[in-house]
Amino acid sequence: MNMSYKNINEKIYMVVNVILTFESMDDYGERQEWFDLTLPLSPNDTDAFSFIDTQLFKRIVAECRLLNRPLGDLWKISTASDWDTFREVTNSPSLGDLGHNCKWYFGRGEGELSDWEKSLVSKYGFGIDTDMSWLECPIKSQIYMDSLAK
C-alpha cells in the first residue's frame, strides 16, 4: 500500500473516465458526451458496488444537467476507472474483479436490464424516454451505426 494513503488528512480520489451515449443528437450532431470525474475515496469504502452507486451516478446526473442532456434520453453509461487506487486504498476487489464490465444500459427494448440498471432507472430516470428495440433488428442497427460514422 502506498504510504501516503495512510495520512488521514490527505484526500484520496479515484479518476473515472465516463462516456454517456444518448438516443438523440445534441445541437452539434453528437450522441455522446465524454468527461472525467474524480470520486472521493476512503479506506472505509470496502464495497465497489456501493462505492460506485453512491459516488458516480449523482455526479453523472449533475453533468447531464450542465450539458443540457435529458436523463430520459440516456441509454448507456461506459466507464474506465483507476481501480488500482480503489484496491490499494480499500484492500477490496474492483467492479471488474467482481465480474462487472463497468457499463450500464437503459431504455425500452434494451433487453433484460440488471437489477442495478432497473434501480438506476427508478432512482434517476435514466433512459425512460428511449426506445432501444431497434438493437434487435440488424437493418435498423446498421442504419444507426452508419449515422455515427458521418
Q: Which residues of 63-82 are buried (b: 16+ CB within 10 A; e: fewer)?
A: ebeeeebebbbbbbbbbebb
Any idea which residue has 490527505 for its cell? 10
pLDDT of residue 124: 96
Answer yes or no: is pLDDT of 149 > 90. Answer: no
Task: Bin 106: left if φ > 0, else alpha if -120 < ψ < 50, else beta.
Answer: beta
pLDDT of residue 45: 92
Q: What is the mean pLDDT of residues 112-134?
A: 89
Stated length of the chain: 150
Domain ranges of the chain: 3-149
Mean pLDDT of the chain: 85
